[in-house]
Amino acid sequence: MQHPAIDNIFVQQFNLSTPIALAPMALATGGQLAAACARAGALSLVGGGYGDLSWTQREYRDAVARLNGNKQDLSRLGCGFISWKLQEDRSAFDWLLDQPVKPAAIMLSFGDPTVFSKTASDQNIPIICQIQTMAQLPQAVDAGASVIVAQGTEAGGHGMNDFEGRSTFTFVPEVADWLTKYSPQTALLAAGGIMDGRGLAAALMLGAQGALIGSRLWASTQSLATSNAKQTAVLAHGDDTARSAIFDILRSKNWPEQFNFRAIRNRLHRKWEGRFNELVANPNEAIQDYLEGVRAEDYDRAHVTVGQGVGMINNILSAEQLIDDINRQALCLLHREAGEK
């Protein structure tokens, strides 16, 4: 028996056939991956990341071109940015708002979204705000967020440090309860460690209307990550990742102190564990080692950006297949839980 699709305020707002959003992963979520996810019925967010104008222009235009004027698919295409970086250079953000194909949504993460959310809202573009603590939630709602993403520390890439951060399993229901009481019209997505239909079903049971998925779609055929990086992830398990600022130092990224970076804990990362102050004081040799690793696709030195769910990445499939598999598994689990045949 084919179960009916999941229907809620998030799905309705963005004309989706699955309650999944593609995470806007910097340098990985390009036009090909975003277009594939939009065609598969998910909300697709190009990885505007650090706000590089030429990269955002190329990849957003590529996604639009691949969707070939299909209004339904284009209604699922948006972009995501790092808020603190936009405060330094907002040219990519301003360019995006001036495009003939307006983004279906703009996601803002890691910093005060207020200035940018107002600019987008003035053009009737919905804002998605990613948060990592309850203290950030009222600010995001006051900024006019249509969707809140509650990100747990299990997530790959950037997130709140382990000392201040929350696990997805406890964070999502607390945010859901707050929204039910104070902002019931605001949708909620769970993020962090969601790799398959079990994770999506769990997110919905915890009170979210969907899931923002990064690592599993990073390991898809359309992701801009290299084949070697993806194969490194296939061979890894959840114990192999770590959250620290080491790779930010090696990449010369000046992130605010409360946020750091989860990736596979490779040989170069292990070399500098416990020597962080030494690395900060004299990073040049380590940076060169890292850059040589990137050029050689040597992932004992270059980073592989995945979260704690990496142990559930057992193959590299198309984004369309992954979304279909996740959605089908979640539907089966939810209807089984409801006692339906």
Domains in the chain, CATH or no CATH each: 9-224+315-337 (3.20.20.70), 227-296 (no CATH)
What are the DSSP calls for 240-277, one per residue?
GEEEESHHHHHTT----TTEEEEEE--HHHHHHTT-HH
Query: What does the mean pLDDT of the chain come to?
Result: 95
* pLDDT at residue 340 greater than cutoff 90: no
How many Å separate Cα 252 from the centre of its chain?
21
Q: Which whole-number Å values give the CA distances from 230 to 42, 80, 215, 222, 235, in the listed order?
A: 22, 22, 10, 11, 9
Segment 83-132, tens digit of pLDDT? 999 999 999 999 999 999 999 999 999 999 999 999 999 999 999 999 99
Segment 245-277, tens digit of pLDDT? 999 999 999 999 999 999 999 999 999 999 999
Whole-prediction pTM value? Answer: 0.94
Whole-angstrom Cα distance, residue 19 to residue 152?
Answer: 18
Helix (H) or strand (E) holding 118: helix 114-121
